[in-house]
Structure 1
Amino acid sequence: MTINSCIHVFRNILVVVFIFHGSCYSEKAGHYTFMKDATLAPKLARFDYIIGGGGTAGCALAATLSQNASVLVLERGGSPYDNPTASDIGNFANTLLSNTPNSWSQLFVSEDGVYNTRPRVLGGGSVINAGFYSRAGDDYVEEAEWEMDEVKAAYEWVEKKLVFEPQVMGWQSALKDGLLEAGEFPDNGFTYDHIYGTKIGGTIFDRAGHRHTAADLLEYANPETIVVYLQASVHKIIFTTKGSQKPKAYQVIFEDANGVFHKVELANNAMNEVILSAGAMGSPQLLMLSGVGPEAHLANRGVNPLVLDHPMVGQGMADNPLNPLLILSPQSVEVSLVQAVGITKFDTYIEGASGLSLSFDLTRRFFDGVLNLFNETSDTTSRNVLTKSIVNFLKPLDLGLNVMINGGIIFHKVDGPASRGHMELRNSNPHDNPSVTFNYYQEPEDLNKCVEGVETIIKVINSKAFSEYKYPGVTGHELLGLMLGLPTNLRPRHLSSSFDLKQFCIDTVMTIWHYHGGCQVGKVVDKNYKVIGIDALRVIDGSTFLKSPGTNPQATVMMLGRYMGQKILRERAAFHEK
């Protein structure tokens, strides 16, 4: 099969590469009595803890703190329980592609020219990810200086509510056996542990294909002491220096869906705190909007007053780079998200998904969103090149139907990574995405890992175990060439007769939605997640990570919310016993 014939066969399934790591939603129709629209909030209220962001960490944290304190959660998005029909695993792609003002995902494009998505819903990334659940490795826990026994108990607390053993069928089984054949052994079977070799991880999808999210952890909450406001966009934190040598957080200003502003203050207690759990994009953005960040940059963006010159806010941003190969199958495949994973000794993880469906209409709207964002931030020449590429790609997609992908994707994720970037404010509007640069593959060690990862994927595709799920005669070179023909990002393509895997990695890089940094431990927050130089303010979420834990960070982000919630409550109890 020639490269041209491959492209022709795959023409109607190309867009799947943008959405294989999306999600579906829980069928659960429950409604928490403490969950309210922010338009119902009073103009002024007081709580012991104010949590900015009801995401993957925020829900676990809030549920824990509510056991012995009053807690307010401010979530800028809506409820994952509002659309039960979206809970079918076969419909996950349309959710991630949706980019309307009220959608649960918010598109952004990094300065590197890579499409990405932010969650905008109670439950955060656990509502729009592939559902894979895997703990951090023991070495990660030791480096973070967390208590191992407490970490284990916090993981188990999450797992009792959300996590399942997946039902492994044909395509994922072939991927697992192909990984073993490619040398990624031993076979570790089903496990939550992060260990070298090939394994089947956990999932937050139940056997019926319905998603369970971090929002479900609020079932643990004390309904008498917690309030969750939805469509509540935090604008800034207000500080005082009265009675303190350092600025002290004491008030948060948020906006409801009608544009009305509300204030919430910390109750009068020395242990009360504001805690940001708005994610790797949201938390550093909110710190800067509140006057905590690099002085010159904040002045340039009109942020006033400066509360603290904190040069490391927004620094150390990283995103685990991904490069996929798309394989059309001669036989039918099951719908599956990530289940089997190869954890290599060269620090790349090999995973896959199969049998995906998508709406062409939503695909067009996704790219319309890309064009709109790009038009706002790029020069005329770049806009013209991108517009021509995407318009040509969309021509055959003028169909009002859904398409089922009879095939799958195998991809790698670079662990680490060593390449780092930064975030800056575009303006002082908290509704707008900040500007972020991840510097994908800037460091040679990341690029070398990518080459080994792609080579391993080709071994899996060529394995005997996987042979029934690919057309005979299709070579790895042809599949690589196919990927170069797809608008997987906004980067230029470098085509040549001699195939350069390093250049392929640079040209086709994508995100796995595991971005982190911006409020890193030891740089912006201390080891208790308190913002250095500020009183009564912590950050507890993935923005604090020096690197992303395990093959998927959601397990550890939820664990961290529980772990730190318990630690804060112990500190609170000890203070009141004095």
Structure 2
Amino acid sequence: MYDYVIIGGGSAGSVLAARLSEDPSVTVCLLEAGGRGDGIFARVPIAAAAVIPGYVRSANWLFSTVPQAGLNGRRGYQPRGRGLGGSSLINAMLYVRGHARDYDEWAALGCEGWSWNEVLPWFRKAEDNIRGVDDLHGRGGPLQVCDQNWTRPINQAFLKACEQNGHRQNDDFNGPRQEGAGVYQTTQFWNGPKRGERCSAAAAYLHDVMTRRNLTVITEAHVSRIIVERGRAVGVAYRFGKEERVVRAGREVLLSAGALQSPQILMLSGIGPADHLTSLGISVVADSPEVGGNLQDHLDYTMIFRSPDTDMFGMGLMATRDLIRAANEWRTERMGHLRSTFAESGAFLKTDPALDRPDIQLHFVVAMVDDHVRKMHWGHGYSCHVCVLRPHSRGTVRLASADPSAAPLIDPAFLSDPRDLATLRKGARMMAGIMAAPAFDKYRGSELYPVGQSDAELDAAIRARADTIYHPVGTCRMGSDDAAVVDSALKVNGIEGLRVVDASVMPRLLGGNTNASVIMMAEKIAAAIRVERLSARGQPSSRAEASKSGLHFA
């Protein structure tokens, strides 16, 4: 028996476990299906290039979508991190919060307490930014955020090319304005004994506190279902090896398995669309039709170029020599190009100047990244990605069977809304203009997948090659309406003692990478749980002070 049982040790789960166990009077159990997330492939930043495509399989769920009608019937690839740290183990480490208006829209949709001014304190609390403290940034938090001082020179060509196409530079995408082109800040250790390593959520929050007496972390624990008795979540059943085990929760079960697996676990537990559950022989505990619905993701299209310049990542004898040299530099000094995110610079742009915020994002990559690094090319080169930031298409996550070990059926329904294709087409045209700018003349070689000038040819190329850039959200939607899966405190409607805390609760997709926002959400909810607990005990909890930070009570 524990006070709190957390399902999933990813970005949200790591934060929740660390923050809740700060109170020695409560007990916390964290269940994670993967490993500890502290091996060499988790610590070396560029190792993600081996984990994302599945060359190293232990830290990746390696999911696929169902066939996508909008992508010529192709099955998309959905890599998700497995282990303490979750997808922060394998992501590009880009620290991006999205646009302030995204959060204000959440609040307007009925998500009380989630406006920009109410979430900003939790972003600042989480981060230890190398740039120091100001109105928008924090210092002293667990998550180290640093500038990239090792970027390849070709990034300056990208920034110049953006200028040549009329786009101004921006040295802080999390500053007063998001629009423009710049070098990304990253979640990497810039200070202390882990300098140079990936600062995953587990490395930032969890690894150093796992010896707390009131915190139990169980890895290799595959959750089968949440146990609900008389309308209340009271425990979790999980598989450890060949053994079935149960852990009980005296206060709450916190589900943080991500946008693809949180709805899967809810449905396995009988919480979801009743007709779908009964068709699989699962007893309905709560008919919640929107569980697994509202799936949104950033669809990404890539231009890839060979280059005569060898100062980039590549394949060949020279590339191998450079990699060995960089490995030695990282091993001895924790510096050098093994710190790279690959996606070192990028841009947030508007396809229409009249828009109130950027609607596309570019990731400029110092390597030929083709099909999630699953297609390899000899030599050196670079690539640029464009994605639609606020897609209109909505998909689903459903169960393939009642077997907890079966992968979920993931259907992002990419390009099911024609507005997304229209925006991605405009974004691809803007990207092509940047890639053709004179700034790239010294670097440019042949393009791997040249496309003709007509819209029909570009649309065909998008349908043939576009895929996710790893930001699924929305499948346990937060809101104040009766159909919402969770309320503004992220408590599951219709079930007591159960919350969902991860990207699945986002009502709409953010205009940017999602990891920083998930960490913020977990910080905010951990604080809310603490205040609720103190209030229940009759202890002074300073509700006014909590309210100033955006804490609200259900």
* TM-score range relative to shorter protein: 0.7 to 0.9
- In the alignment, which residue of structure 2 is the partner of 1:343? 348
CA distance in 2, matches of 1:517, 1:147: 17
Distance in 2 separating the partners of 1:498 and 1:316: 29
- Partner residue, 2:465: 508
Instruction: Return closer, same or farther for 1:191/1:501 CA change in 2, 3 Å cut-off.
Output: closer
Q: Which moved more, 1:546-555 or 1:310-319?
A: 546-555
Q: For residues 459 and 465 of structure 1, what CA distance do their matches in structure 2 show?
A: 11
Distance 1:431 1:157, change over 3 A: farther
Are residues 1:316 and 2:303 paired?
no
Aligned with 2:442: secondary structure?
helix
Residue 182 in 1 paired to residue 165 in 2? Answer: yes
Structure 1 residue 162: Cα displacement = 2.6
CA spacing shift, 1:537–1:153, aligned 2, 3 Å = same
Q: How does 1:448-527 map to 2 (within 5 A)?
A: 448-471=422-445, 474=446, 479-481=449-451, 500-522=457-479, 523-527=484-488
**8 Å contact kept, 1:195–1:343:** yes
Per-residue CA deviation, residues 178-200 of structure 1 (Å, 9 max, x unaligned), is: 22222222x22144346112232
**Structure 2 CA distance for partners of 1:99 and 1:278, relative to 1, 3 Å:** farther
**TM-score, L = length of structure 2:** 0.78
For residues 139-171 of structure 1, the C-alpha deviation after alignment (integer angstroms, 9 at most, x for no partner) is: 122233326556333223332233211123312
When residues 497 and 451 of structure 1 are mapped into structure 2, their CA distance, relative to the original with a 3 A threshold, is closer
Q: Does 1:138 align with 2:117?
A: no
DSSP-derived class of the 1:288 partner: helix
Bigger shift: 202-211 or 176-185?
202-211
- Where in structure 2 are the equivalents of 1:177-576 lying within 5 Å? 177-185=160-168, 187-193=169-175, 195-206=178-189, 209-216=196-203, 217-218=205-206, 221=209, 223-241=212-230, 247-256=231-240, 258-267=241-250, 272-303=251-282, 305-335=283-313, 336=340, 337-346=342-351, 347-355=359-367, 406-471=380-445, 474=446, 479-481=449-451, 500-522=457-479, 523-576=484-537
The secondary structure found in structure 1 opposite 2:425 is helix
- Report the Cα distance in structure 1 between the residues aligned to 2:89 and 2:288, rounded to whole angstroms: 32
Report if the CA contact (8 A) 1:340-1:352 is conserved. Answer: yes
Q: 2:64 maps to which residue?
A: 109
Q: Which residue identity lines up with residue 489 of structure 2 in the other structure?
A: N
The residue type equivalent to 2:399 in the other structure is L
Report Cα offsets for 1:49-81 as digits up to 9, x if no partner.
111000011111221111223211100000121
Counterpart Cα distance in 2 of 1:496 and 1:344: 22
For residues 277-305 of structure 1, the C-alpha deviation after alignment (integer angstroms, 9 at most, x for no partner) is 000111000000000011111111121x2
Cα distance per residue 1:342-375 (max 9 Å; x no partner): 11123111112113699x9x98xx7xxxxxxxxx
Post-superposition Cα deviations, 1:76-113, rounded to whole Å, max 9, x if no partner, equal 000121x226633443322222267x610021221122
Larger deviation, residues 311-320 vs 285-294: 311-320
Alignment length (residue pairs): 464
Give, in whole Å, the separation in 1 of the partners of 2:145 and 2:297. 25
> Does residue 1:97 correspond to 2:53, yes or no?
yes
Q: Deviations over 1:216-241 (max 9, x none)?
A: 21257582321111001111111111
Query: For 1:67 and 1:460, how far apart are their aligned partners in 2?
Result: 49
Partners in 2 of 1:219 and 1:275 — Cα distance? 19
Letter in 2 for 1:313: V
| Paired AA for residue 293 in structure 2 | Q
Q: Distance in 2 between matches of 1:552 and 1:300?
A: 36
- The 8 Å contact of residues 99 and 107 in structure 1, kept in 2 or not, is answered as no
In the alignment, residue 502 of structure 1 is paired with which amino acid?
A: D
2:53/2:79 contact within 8 Å kept: no
Give ranges in structure 2 of 5+ residues lacking alignment.
69-74, 108-113, 129-142, 314-339, 352-358, 540-554
Deviation at 1:333, TM superposition (A): 2.6
Distance 1:88 1:480, change over 3 A: same
Q: Aligned pair in 2 of structure 1 residues 547, 480: CA closer, same or farther (>3 Å)? A: farther
Partner residue, 2:27: 70
SS, match of residue 317 in structure 1:
coil
Aligned 8 A contact 1:425 1:435 in 2? yes
1:158 matched residue in structure 2: 126
CA distance in 2, matches of 1:56, 1:279: 9
Q: Tell me, in whole angstroms, the C-alpha distance in 1 between the residues paired with 2:369 and 2:103.
A: 37
In the alignment, what sits opposite 1:38? none
Match of 2:15 among 27, 36, 60: 60
Query: What is the letter of the counterpart of residue 49 of structure 2?
Result: A
C-alpha offsets along residues 230-254 of structure 1, whole Å, 9 cap, x if unaligned?
Answer: 001111111111xxxxx11011111
Contact between 2:106 and 2:508, CA under 8 Å: does it hold in 1? no
The answer (yes or no) to whether the contact 1:60–1:559 under 8 Å persists in 2 is no
Give the distance between the partners of 1:497 and 1:191, measured in 2 at CA. Answer: 33
CA–CA distance in 2 between the matches of 1:468 and 1:206?
34
**Aligned residue number for residue 119 of structure 1:** 81
Distance 1:520 1:306, change over 3 A: same
Cα distance in structure 1, aligned partners of 2:144 and 2:509:
21
Q: Matched residue of 1:237: which SS?
A: strand
Select the structure that is richer in helix: 1
Amino acid at match of 1:461: M
**SS in structure 2 opposite 1:465?**
helix
